[in-house]
Structure formats: structure tokens, C-alpha cells
Amino acid sequence: MSGGAKKFIIKDIHLLIENYIDRVKHATSVSNLQIKLRPILSRNFNYSIEMGNGIKVGRKTDFSSYLYARQSFYEDAKTTVKIIGSKEATVIFKTPQKSVKQIIYLGDNYQIIAIKEVKINSNQNGGIGYTYDVGMNPIAGRPVITPYLNCCKPIFNGQLLQNGGKINADYYLDIADNHLNVLPQYRARGN
């Protein structure tokens, strides 16, 4: 028998994922979370998180700080776990406001080697549309066109919101009238 303390290793993927979720939800501080995650994260662990402006990538030392900064979200979230084979699992953390999905990759030694987190837009119902960007000056006399998702249709504030401020009104570019300014004019369609 060799000397030294033996590390407690969880050799069941279901139990390992449940332990990970429990540790993330119930940590009391960043250092407490680091200590709790140390046995289940591999030495070469890395993570990537999809954010609105890009992807944040980090190592084991940063991961606890990132998770603990969002502790209230994880703590209040309901979780759904799906095991994919013996090396991968997905965990969905869901609150009424937002949902995130973590894809967890496991190594041969029953430790987590990587986690990839992506946001799930639960309000999105598919499709993309295009609108004129009234906030930008026209290019070569033509209005700037920008895309939008059906879940996030643009709202043009001001006189265009007629009929008691009805938000789901439909608008069109008024090109029939002469305009003195260089910005395009928009009119609400009659409903």
C-alpha cells in the first residue's frame, strides 16, 4: 500500500453530474466552491461560455469565480440532466427569466475535463426579419437595413405608436412623399 491520502473518485457519471450541480448551487463563497470542485475537475480543465458579444474562455482557476458571480441564478434554477454516452452530459439550468445549457465533457479518470455553456433563448419562436435602421444615416441615399429575430421585433417609439400605443403595429417605409430631411420616414399601417 502506498503512502498518502487517496482521493475520493466518483465512478458513476450520474452521481458525478448530480454532485457537480449540488456544488454549484450550494457554495457559500468562491474559495468554498473551488474546494468543492477540486476533486471533480481535471487538472487540465477548461471552459467556454457563449456571451452576447462573443465567447469567454478560461481555465480551472477562473471557473469558480465565474460560477459564484452567478450563484443566485444557479441556486434558483431548475435543472434537467441528460447523459450522452459515457463521456458527455448536458445540464439545463432554467428559471422563468432565462435558461442556459452546459455541455459537460468527461475524461477517462471520471473527472470533468471541459464545460461549454450556451444560452437558450426560450422566447425565440424562429425566423428572421429585416427592418430599416432609423437610427443610422442612409448610405448613398438608401436606408440601412438590419436583421431581427421574430422574437425581438423592433419598436419605433413616438408618433408611430398609434391606437393607444399598440406595440404590435406594422410599419412601412413611406417613399411616396417628398422629404426635406435625409432620414427615411415611416408610417403605421391602418389595422
Q: Where are the domains of the chain?
A: 13-120, 123-191
> Is CATH 3.30.70.1230 what the domain over 13-120 is classified as, yes or no?
no
17-49 tens-digit pLDDT: 898 999 999 888 889 999 988 888 888 888 888
Reduced 3-state DSSP string for 112-160: EEEEEEEEECCCCCCCEEEEECCCCCCECCECCEEEEEHHHCCCCCCCC
The pTM of the full predicted model, rounded to 2 decimals, is 0.57
Tens-digit pLDDT profile for residues 93-118: 988 888 889 999 988 877 889 999 88
